[in-house]
Amino acid sequence: MTGAHGARLGYILAVDHNSHMVEIQTPSGIGLSVSTMLLADNGNHIVAPTMSKTDMMAMAKSQTGRTVAMNFDMRHAKNGTFRG
């Protein structure tokens, strides 16, 4: 999904037609709920013409309290090397 000025905002993971919401995974790994009213079908891709990366990070902070998701592989925790 792209936003204002062609910024890559993330991937659509799920669509809930009843509530008119989509679940979007941001490039930083956070899942967000966004109203379909903010989206438009532009033929071969979905755009959010009024949303920027800054808007997405603000939504992530508001909805989850975080702006980045991290995955730790505990097998590597003993030697201090983590892979995200």
The ranges assigned to domains in the chain are: 4-64
pLDDT at 73: 66
Closest by CA to 13, choosing from 22, 5, 4, 21, is 22
| One-letter identity of residue 51 | M
Tell me if 67 sits within 8 A of 28, measured CB to CB. yes
Q: What is the pLDDT of residues 35-72, one digit of tens each?
A: 999 999 988 899 999 999 999 999 989 998 888 887 66
User: Once rounded to an integer, what is the mean pLDDT over residues 8-23?
Assistant: 95
Instruction: Round the average pLDDT of the chain to a whole number and report it.
Output: 86
Alpha carbon separation from 53 to 6, 14, 78, 82 (Å, rounded): 10, 20, 36, 27
Taking the CB of residue 68, how many other CB atoms lie within 10 A of it? 12
